Chain A
């Protein structure tokens, strides 16, 4: 890969890894949802994410052109090679945390994929056109829940506000560009993250107002996921996710 290919490869991996890791996290709810209907809703969304991860890994593997497949990228890389944001690897904790984590990311994903449709890279544009439909529903689904829980009972309000307070520290990273994103924005391949940030803020303000939630004051912001510096959670996720390929290399379905 030359430098230009390396930049787009790294950029695609951010979103491929975001999709895989969040899909895996949501998959942990399978059989444990608060009600049957939401159990299915959570795993539907998980499958949307795994599907998106596959498309992005396939594209990354093609660009890398080094005999690695989508499966190699998903199952045979270690923690430092993963470029997902810290937000998506955070634990499910409870339904409130899961909804807040989802909302904070969907409020990013929605404008991001909307803009990515105009990407100079035709493959990414096509993936964005598929993703925007899924993301529109995801954002609607978790906004509804955030409003129900925030403006619900005293207990549900405390639970989601606590989740907001504790997850807020992982939000800035979404908008703080790393090298690959800066290069890709220059080339018109990655959307301008400043613009995404502006739309994200508007979504947060609108939904929080209805959910009677308070945006935390400026807190210490965590960074590093997009550069491969992760929280301890990612190692545990990968040991689950990659177990089969590590224990039985090359095993097929």
Chain B
């Protein structure tokens, strides 16, 4: 999962939850906000950062799928 963080420790809740569930967790600090304000999208840098993080997350999901396939085969044998 990918979170646009808030500038407080509150968002660590979901980082912890993802860790507990065994899910990779990513942040896009370029898209952040104070706890009670809106996320303003106003720069190409933000869009590039979000796109790069999404690509990274998909890459690592694909890698995990490949690794799991190998591990499952080993277990069954």
Asked if A and B are interacting partners, one says no
